[in-house]
Amino acid sequence: MKYDPEQEPYVALRTKALESLLIEKGLLSAEAVDERISEYERDIGPLKGAKVVARAWIDPAFKARLLASGAAIAELGLPGGGNLVVVENTPTHHHMVVCTLCSCYPWTVLGLPPTWYKSFAYRSRAVREPRAVLREFGLELDEAVAVHVWDSSAEMRYMVLPERPAGTEGLTEEELAALVTRDAMIGVARVAAPAPSGAAAG
């Protein structure tokens, strides 16, 4: 296979080199690294963000505070809202998040970023041709919908508050949270309406 410098960015190579050195010196174990990573995948995941979204959907006062300042996530007992900006998708405005420079991501609420988020293709194309990128994610936006692309940095992390799907009026906060996906909170997908009752869960 041809060498692709974007496949293994410098920071990834440096991290791997540091990791093997620390393991070799007995300062770190591979198990400890794996445990820390799975902690993010298992316990932090996008689940915290989903809870924030569900609360915002059912509590307009919370939603207003959240859109004013990401620090409002502290009301749900969540840390890390200090540099968090929450942007709301509406029928006329669509927001999506990228980090053009590297891979800044609101990991306190969404866990670890997906691989594609860190890819050169996403980082460059999200700003250049966001509609084309969204189409590839299966999200076709009407030309009348304004697209806003938010470039994350070490100082500012963005999370999208997706639109609440129709037909979810009777759902509990917990059931709503279960509908919210990571991709919807990055802004590359919509939250799908729940399958009609009686239908088998996929």
Residues found near Fe ion in the complex (CB under 5 A): 99, 101-104
Using CB atoms within 10 Å of the CB of residue 136, give its burial: 0 to 12 exposed, 13 to 18 middle, 19+ buried.
middle
* 99 is annotated as an active-site residue: yes
Catalytic residue among 38, 69, 104, 119: 104
| Rounded CA separation 161/185 (Å) | 6
In whole angstroms, the minimum distance from the beta carbon of 104 to Fe ion comes to 3
User: Active site includes 20?
Assistant: no
Find the residue with minimal CB distance to Fe ion.
104
| Smallest distance from Fe ion to CB 152, Å | 6
Q: Based on CB atoms, which residue is closest to Fe ion, 9 or 165? A: 9
The 3-state DSSP composition of the chain as helix, strand, coil percent (nearest 5) reads 45, 10, 45
Q: Of these residues, 38, 69, 102, 119, which one is catalytic?
A: 102
Shortest separation between residue 99's beta carbon and Fe ion, angstroms: 4
Residue 148 — φ and ψ, nearest 5°? -120, 125
* Strands, E assignment, the chain: 84-88, 93-98, 146-151, 157-161
- C-beta closer to Fe ion: residue 101 or 132: 101
Task: Decide whether 53 or 98 has the Cβ nearer to Fe ion.
Answer: 98
Q: What is the DSSP letter of 126?
A: H
Question: How many whole angstroms separate alpha carbon 176 and alpha carbon 51?
Answer: 8
Nearer to Fe ion, 99 or 161 (CB): 99
The Cα 46–Cα 43 span in angstroms is 9
Least Cβ distance, residue 182 to Fe ion (angstroms) = 17
Known catalytic residue at 69: no
Hey, which residues are catalytic here? 99, 102-104
